[in-house]
Chain A
């Protein structure tokens, strides 16, 4: 009887143990483990902390208050954004907000040295006016008083053909001007107001994936006027009173016909490791005002990508030449001359630092991976060292080795998950100082947004 009771007690105990204990077995390398009981079960407590740790951490806690506040705020904003679905592919930041009429409304933003911070809104309507069409209207404003209203339509015919029409008006109250030609001086900075209106269309044809041709025709008016002298920078009319540029204080209207041929053997958009790209351009301008201005703009660029010692260590080289020649009875208005904008840009100098009828240059970038999202060659951030050399000129005879401008620097380029270029930031050092730049355009494989996207088409052949 006693042994039976003992057996029952043991069974009950074991059952209770097996129900309560997380161990699979009471066997162990330490010997038999005791069953759970008040003496073998406990709530862990913090081990004793040396006093010096508390002492050392006091200044840390104090100093961390602002950081904690920033962290708390940032996390709150991120959480709100995520809660609102802004990080999803279906987010309105990517797709836009769809209104009841079927239009998609999308916020936009950009940062550039000539326009400053630019914000705006874009409305797009797919399948309008036909199945293969998309229509777009945008309005932007910027911190440098640049206001733009543009509209465009694009249609795709088959897999290889695109047709675009577009119109727009831009008013920029503070456009920089330093003078014309290679010897314009940095200290001759002045400002003027520029108004541009255009309407045009283009036809782009992709031939077998290697060659692309673009034909365009447009009518444009550009007018350079006195700006609002409400800042420290002098007015163009005052600073350059002794030699006002041609076309200042008047409007230039005319028709432009342009053609572009692109030959591209690169295998990736954002960070190609091999291949070449050759672009040839020509543009003819006839004035429709009474100035009698006519001109040719022609030139091209050649790019080559070369993989160096390891994969994704790429040398990118580009040379360019662009030339404008007046063929009419009047000089080319300075507002239609070439400037230092992308993609043929001498980095370290502002977009409007130079204006002339010719530009040539050579740029070299050495690229290597900085951050890799998943695998080399895919999304991530590339670092690059670059060097630019080039010159603006009005006559070929002006090109001299001692007049060449040089600059160099370091940058980071973000590559998206689709392998395409997203954004670059770079620090360029030229003889006139240091320029920190954030840009959504790249120097290589540059694709100018067309009439549909509403970008300023002067000159079209960029």
Chain B
């Protein structure tokens, strides 16, 4: 009996040992980066191939909010890989340099080049509805919490005319325009949103214009009398003229909101699960910057652009009324600090028995500025920033995604910000000053947050004799020059990044490295140069830049 037990123990032990060894081997297998490719860097995503018009996607709002707030966070919380790594792996779509290729989702703008003042002020379009004739009201605005109409201008273009709620005239329409311009400058697709100023006689009633009743149970014909009462109720009158946000209807066939997770099954061009798109993950950082918290899927829109059968799907962000401290109909300090339903925050309040106050309840909000509400840089922490609803893409944000977004955010100068904020046509100049000042401070906080984690040595070029980069931390005024040191080392590697021993570290004056002897491109091996920077707090993790032997160009950057 004893023997049998011992033998069984031996067998169990062997099985356990084998399983353990397998697990160790499996665990030790690190994620390999894609092999180096000595060819052109991919700058475009191949997602504009002609497809048939996909079906309309019309998710139920409450169901999708519950799913975003309950089901998916629970799923993420139970995922053991997230326990171990804190994320769901790297984004799928960056190119070898860590940039996001242009696509129907994203166009590289401020991240890769300086935009002119004209481009910043124009965004997706400078002109509002044509004033060559009256604006014909063709119906009431549907959905959302603010009042508005659908109008057709003299050019036949349809616009959404949105007013501020009477409690906060001039807040969300201005914030909506400014945030639209910022997101567009960052690279996202947005509709043309402009603040328009008009008189009552600019509006005319369409034949079939109707209003939905308060309870949403029916529609009533819009008359001059109730148009007047609606306009009066908006209170969006400044110096005797109405102020509103005019949002141009997008061209094409609307296909409904964009999922924050997964792909659109009937779009063959939609190859990357949206939660794995770097620009969708990095959007979290940009939304944190401008306090755009209403990022539910209903504020996105997929459009079929082109002739049916010959077009493709393009992806837009919509409705930025809940940004820069405003919250649509009403303004609430809580938003941007907590999710709408935030269990950890609530449990924290429960555990502290109310002895601790939430940060957002103690903020010195600019109460003297009617047009700004709850926008401040004090206690701003982009890592803990929360939209109203969680989403899978934001939850997947990695350090590399954050760095990519921080690089874009930090590219805006104070002057750039002022140009865009002025497009909000704020009535109080102090509101403009406040927003520019605190957008600038929040920008710097974002940049330092991720530049402290990823050395911001970027935009590398090889001219045959030297490898030159930019220290974005210095160029964007985030770190003191006198405390910054650089060093580099090099070696030749194959496409799997394997090679001989590294050279000794060599101190550099700046992010510019020259080889001791000429790079032998005939050997067919890549030149790998590792750079480090020290801001007075020790060397940051290195970044490695690779130069291709055949192309003689920078072909990859590992961060």
Contact = CB atoms under 8 A, between A and B. Distances in A.
A binds B: yes
B92 A45 contact: yes
Contact of B62 (A23, A41, A56, A78): A78
A63 B74 CA distance: 13
A53 to B, nearest CB: 5
Interface string B24-67: 00111111111000011111111110000000000011110011
A77 to B, nearest CB: 10
Given A20-B48, A22-B107, A75 B92 contact: no
B497 interface: no
A410 to B, nearest CB: 9
Interface in B276-330: 276, 330
B368 interface: no
A88 B108 CA distance: 42
A371 B346 contact: yes
B448 interface: no
Contacts of B480: none
A42 B42 CA distance: 7
B495 to A, nearest CB: 14
A75 B26 contact: no
B429 interface: no
B78 interface: yes
Nearest to A48: B32
Contacts of A43: 45-47, 271
Interface in A83-110: 83, 87-90
Interface in A301-344: 309-313
Given A40-B40, A43-B45, A75-B71, A52 B23 contact: yes
Contacts of B460: 30
B354 interface: yes
B213 to A, nearest CB: 9
A209 interface: no
Contact of A79 (B60, B101, B461): B60
Report whether over half of chain B's contact residues are helix, strand or loop; otherwise say mixed. Answer: loop
Contact of A50 (B31, B39, B44, B99): B31
A25 B113 contact: yes
B441 interface: no
Contact of A374 (B43, B276, B332, B459): B332
Interface string B74-112: 110011110010000110110001010111101111001
B349 interface: yes
A56 B81 contact: yes
Interface stretch (A4-12, A31-39, A146-154, A442-450): A31-39
Contacts of A372: 334
Contacts of A29: 112-113, 458-459, 470
A400 interface: no
Given A30-B459, A57-B80, A89-B215, A50 B30 contact: yes
Interface residues of B, number: 79
Contacts of B458: 29
Report whether over half of chain A's contact residues are helix, strand or loop; otherwise say mixed. Answer: loop
A332 B355 CA distance: 49
Give the most central of A45, A47, A75, A78: most B CB within 10 Å: A47
Interface string A272-300: 00000000000000000000000000000
B357 interface: yes
Contact of B350 (A49, A375, A383): A383
B104 to A, nearest CB: 7
Contact of B216 (A60, A90, A311): A90
A368 B90 contact: no
Contact of B66 (A33, A57, A60, A75): A75
Nearest to B314: A22
19 contacts: A22-B106, A25-B113, A27-B113, A28-B112, A29-B459, A30-B460, A30-B554, A41-B44, A42-B45, A47-B89, A48-B32, A51-B29, A53-B81, A90-B216, A310-B357, A369-B354, A374-B330, A374-B332, A375-B332
Interface of B: 22-23, 26-34, 39-48, 60-63, 66-67, 71, 74-75, 78-81, 84, 89-90, 92-93, 97, 99, 101-104, 106-109, 112-113, 119, 215-217, 271-272, 276, 330, 332-334, 340-342, 346, 349-350, 353-355, 357, 361, 458-461, 470, 554
Interface of A: 20-25, 27-31, 33-34, 36-37, 39-53, 55-57, 59-60, 63-64, 67, 71, 74-75, 78-79, 82-83, 87-90, 309-313, 366-376, 381, 383, 385
**Shortest Cβ-Cβ A-B pairs, 9 listed:** A368-B354, A22-B102, A44-B93, A28-B112, A29-B459, A41-B44, A52-B27, A52-B26, A374-B332
Given A90-B217, A370-B346, A371-B342, 9 more contacts: A23-B102, A23-B108, A30-B97, A43-B46, A43-B47, A60-B79, A60-B81, A87-B62, A367-B354
